[in-house]
Structure 1
Amino acid sequence: MRFEDPTYLWLLCLLPLLFLLRVASHFKQRKRLRRLGDPQLLRQLMPDVSRARRAVKFWLMMGALAMLILVLARPQMGTHVSHDKRQGIEAIICMDISNSMLAEDVVPSRLEKSKMLVENMIDHFTNDKVGLVVFAGDAFVQLPITADYVSAKMFLQDINPSLIATQGTDIGHAIQLAMHSFTQANNIGRAIIVITDGEDHEGGAEEAAAEAKKKGINVFILGVGDPHGAPIPTGDGYMKDASGQTVMSALNEQMCRKIAQAGSGMYIHVNNTADAQNELNNDLVKLQQGTTDAVVYSDYNEQFQAFAIIALILLVVDVCLMETRNPLLKKVTIFKNKGKR
């Protein structure tokens, strides 16, 4: 059993506190009765009073309160796991998040244009799997390969240059990381899609792309930006170098083409049109499609109804049970009255 809102379970800690208050109230009441007279005499004067009934009503209320807290926590049970077979490809998207991707020569910026492109590509996926790798001077997996497109879009929106402090454009490291992020399925088309402006290239990308080619993985390079260069916004102006000159970030198309050629893929220039999107979608369709493992879905059935019914029954019994003995049921001795002689 699991609870959808487990934070409500902390309210169960109130039950011991209520019990202590009940005990304190009981001793305080006994102390007051002693002031009125002899306890034995007082019991004889109150033959219909039943301490047992008061205790039972208290525990009925405690039980009902505990059940209501469990209802609020939404208990769930019954996991259903389904396996499905899908026909599709596997694609790992390597996205450059270096500061140069903030340049606005592509509207609204290189990075935001890249996100829009990836989101549109995911919208065209049906039986495919996708993963996200982000890189700058370093690289790490932002989202392991999955068929959960909703999660992929959520992770995509969180991508920004602050995720990696080390600046640069280590495409080789990103491709190496992507190669080890695919599943072990056989006979399936695989693609590594690198989205970058290619600036401050660290080297080793062509060798990594060639290695991916040997493993049957196509490497596509999407070059974002203007080859003539554009300034990099910093929030209060544009980035400047040590001499005070505005830094101009230019797309390195020559390098992008070499990597794509080494990886048996295509180089696609991303600009303010939809041409790059259409060309990429057409190239991905040509990849061999194979059978992939399905996503495992877990269905949990709500179980709060049983706890709610128990709480209702306890409350009804509590209301019906009087603290004093019912004159019509004096002969029934379910709760013994110690005051009776």
Structure 2
Amino acid sequence: MFDNFTFENPQFFWLFLLLPLAITWYILSRKKQQASLKISTIKGFKTSGSWITKIKPILFALRLIALSLIITALARPRTVDVSTKTKTTRGIDIVMSIDVSASMLAKDLKPNRLEALKEVAAEFIKGRPNDRIGLVVYAGESFTKTPITSDKSIVLNSLKDVKYDDVLENGTAIGMGLATSVNRLKDSKAKSKVIILLTDGSNNAGFIDPKIASELAVEYGIKTYTIGIGTNGMALTPVAILPDGSFQYGRGKVEIDEKLLKEIAKATKGKYFRATDNKKLEQIYQEIDKLEKTDIEEFKFYNYQEKFRSLVLLAGFLVFIEFLLRYTLFRSFI
């Protein structure tokens, strides 16, 4: 209720410490303010209490309330209405290029590489409300899963649907995945264009050389962050498909062409990362999130409404009432 209520000069509230002193002084000096008559006995007088004398302290109460109102007015109470307007500069267009070959089902990340990636990538997408994001998936070939869009619900739903299947030719066409991503971004007018390319292998398929694709990225001013996903050494990897359609797993060597991924990142002024476990993968996306920030300007407009005037008027009115009562109703008693 009082969230938008402020006091410009709150130091004046220290004056309230004078009120207890004033009350003490009034109590101690009250008897001296009344005339007294000493007689031996009042048996011969008829006594009756007067209601006027009983309500006499109302004068002091009015003065005290008026003083409190003046102190509050000095503190300058006011309400503030804050309106905010945000202006986002041309944001960042990001394409996430994801390897969906069978090896992405390896279990060195939990529950597997692909599912671990989807979980981390979803948080990354949610944390970038002002950017446009698209998805490209590749194995032996590549295609656009989602064109760059500012509608994060579409991107997140598409990300949930990313999985290994036999629609794409098996293999790892890094050049194809990168080239398709470049194609999605080449006509973008964003201030920054970024590709996040993730793979767990080496280029062994497709008809576009990864170095040619990286040259295209350089030509269109597209920065590429490359991520090699997979543990060091051996990992539990799909090696065959059983008659029931499930995978048979076996120990396989993790072979990531880190040299190629580093060359792509260096040529495009990006950065190479290695994700050996779930925690490291999460940290990589957090670092990319920090490296690529959208500039947002926030303008705040303050509308102040001063409230001290009504307090001063009310205090003046109470002083007038006190003055009026003092010289009319209570005149003969003071």
TM-score w.r.t. the length of structure 1 is 0.53
Give the aligned partner of residue 227 of structure 2: 222
Over the residues paired in the alignment, what is the CA RMSD in angstroms?
2.6
Instruction: Confirm or deny: 8 A CA contact 2:139 2:172 kept in the other structure.
Output: yes
Instruction: Confirm or deny: 8 A CA contact 2:232 2:276 kept in the other structure.
Output: no
**Percent of aligned pairs sharing the same letter:** 27
Q: Return the match for 1:254 from 217, 241, 259.
A: 259
Q: Return the match for 1:108 from 98, 105, 111.
A: 111
Instruction: Confirm or deny: 8 A CA contact 1:223 1:269 kept in the other structure.
Output: yes
Does residue 150 in structure 1 map to residue 153 in structure 2?
yes
The correspondence of residues 310-321 of structure 1 with structure 2, limited to 5 A, is: none
Does residue 98 in structure 1 map to residue 93 in structure 2?
no
Q: Distance in 1 between matches of 2:111 and 2:268?
A: 30
Give a deviation string over 1:90-112, Cα, whole Å, max 9, x none: 00011000001110111111111
Instruction: Confirm or deny: 8 A CA contact 1:198 1:255 kept in the other structure.
Output: no
Instruction: Return closer, same or farther for 1:279/1:229 CA change in 2, 3 Å cut-off.
Output: same
TM-score w.r.t. the length of structure 2 is 0.54
Instruction: Return closer, same or farther for 1:149/1:168 CA change in 2, 3 Å cut-off.
Output: same
**Structure 1 residue 185 displacement after superposition:** 4.3
Q: Distance in 1 between matches of 2:168 and 2:202?
A: 16
In structure 2, stretches of 5+ residues that fail to align are 1-86, 297-334
2:248 aligned counterpart, secondary structure? coil
Deviates more, 1:202-211 or 1:276-285: 276-285
Q: Distance in 2 between matches of 1:117 and 1:146?
A: 19
Give a deviation string over 1:250-275, Cα, whole Å, max 9, x none: 33323322222222211111232434
Q: Distance in 1 between matches of 2:272 and 2:188?
A: 27
Instruction: Confirm or deny: 8 A CA contact 2:231 2:275 kept in the other structure.
Output: no
Q: Distance in 2 between matches of 1:288 and 1:237?
A: 43
2:194 aligned counterpart, secondary structure? strand
Give the aligned partner of residue 7 of structure 1: none
Give the aligned partner of residue 27 of structure 1: none
Return the letter of the residue paired with 1:139: S
Give the aligned partner of residue 181 of structure 1: 184
**Structure 1 residue 158 displacement after superposition:** 0.9
Q: Distance in 1 between matches of 2:146 and 2:247?
A: 32
Q: Distance in 2 between matches of 1:136 and 1:187?
A: 28
Instruction: Confirm or deny: 8 A CA contact 2:117 2:281 kept in the other structure.
Output: no
Q: Distance in 2 between matches of 1:237 and 1:278?
A: 31
How many positions carry a matched residue from both structures? 202
